[in-house]
């Protein structure tokens, strides 16, 4: 699955240097090796991300700064070991006519993580992102993927600048880690034939002015819950802060797809569902229609 996304598999040692393990938040004495095979391999690794970062540094030193790697292997803590699928992208995107090269984005790492979860049978509609990623990720440019408030499925984001500096890496680096042992087994249900509507979907755009600290996912969930029978999809297409938007707020533009099943929607019905959407968002987030 990860190879299909353009990442190259690596295989690393399950032990790393004590200093490297410290940078990734886990170097307890109970996991220190008494007789390591080498002096710089004296600690059980907390995550395969340690090895991926080291591999990216070696590649960058040899002129291969733009690459994608992954490893599926064990991470160790005082609570035991767990299987982790870790991936990493470095450098910049390719240059194409009419399109400039850009730094690898945390959104690419999030897309890798969510696609893997989807392939493993997780309904990503029920997955949320919170901004409390581990210390080796960049605060404010990373997140934790959760199923419900407590179940942690993984992490994604830019790696912390101080970690990259300590490793001698001077190119952008983003990554993700999926905790495979935490991923629930998919429910084995016999699927019925899909119900396809004979009517065209209707798309409507809304722009809401909302406080900057309100998560976008909260607004999107409010839109979806306004009318579950009609709202088939919601996507965020615009974020704006500046003139005509109050200080401490931002404008969020969302496209809502309404899929009628029994009959085409009248103007009055479209107006009614639009009012329900606005009311649901206002109640959940305190937003106002722009």
The structural domains of the chain, ordered by start, are 3-182 (3.30.930.10), 202-289 (3.30.70.380)
What average pLDDT does this structure show over 1-30? 92
pTM of the model: 0.83
Rounded to an integer, what is the distance from CA 113 to the centroid of its chain? 6
* Whether residue 134 has pLDDT greater than 80: yes
Question: Which tokens sit at 230?
Answer: 């009609």
* Whether residue 157 has pLDDT greater than 80: yes
Q: What is the pLDDT of residue 196?
A: 83
Most confident range, picked from 101-105, 148-152, 176-180, 215-219: 176-180
* Whether residue 187 has pLDDT greater than 80: no
- % residues pLDDT > 90 (the chain): 71
* Whether residue 66 has pLDDT greater than 90: yes
- % residues pLDDT > 70 (the chain): 100
Q: What is the pLDDT of residue 26?
A: 78
Q: Which of the four pLDDT bands, split at 50, 70 and 90, describes residue 119?
A: very high
């Amino acid at each position: 699955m990860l190879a299909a996304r353009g990442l190259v598999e690596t295989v690393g040692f399950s032990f790393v240097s004590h200093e490297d393990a410290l940078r990734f938040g886990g170097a307890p004495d109970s996991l220190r090796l008494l007789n390591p095979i080498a002096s710089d391999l004296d600690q059980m690794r907390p995550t395969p991300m340690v090895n991926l970062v080291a591999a990216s540094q070696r590649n960058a030193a040899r002129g291969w700064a733009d690459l994608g790697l992954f490893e599926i292997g064990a991470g160790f803590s005082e609570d035991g070991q767990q299987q982790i699928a870790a991936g990493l992208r470095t450098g910049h995107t390719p240059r194409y006519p009419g399109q400039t090269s850009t730094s690898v984005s945390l959104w690419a790492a999030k897309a890798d993580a969510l696609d893997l979860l989807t392939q493993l049978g997780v309904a990503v509609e029920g997955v949320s992102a919170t901004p409390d990623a581990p210390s080796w990720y960049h605060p404010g440019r990373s997140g934790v993927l959760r199923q419900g408030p407590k179940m942690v499925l993984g992490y994604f984001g830019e790696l912390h600048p101080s970690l990259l500096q300590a490793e001698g890496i001077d190119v952008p680096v983003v990554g993700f880690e999926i905790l495979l042992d935490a991923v629930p087994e998919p429910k084995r249900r016999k699927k019925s034939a899909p119900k396809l509507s004979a009517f065209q979907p209707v798309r409507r755009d809304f722009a809401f002015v909302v406080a900057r600290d309100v998560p976008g996912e909260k607004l999107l969930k409010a839109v979806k819950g306004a009318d579950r029978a009609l709202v088939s999809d919601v996507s965020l297409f615009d974020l704006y802060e500046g003139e005509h938007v109050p200080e401490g707020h931002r404008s969020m533009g969302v496209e809502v797809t309404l899929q009628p099943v029994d009959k085409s929607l009248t103007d009055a019905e479209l107006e009614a569902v639009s009012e329900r959407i606005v009311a649901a968002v206002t109640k959940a987030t305190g937003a106002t229609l722009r």
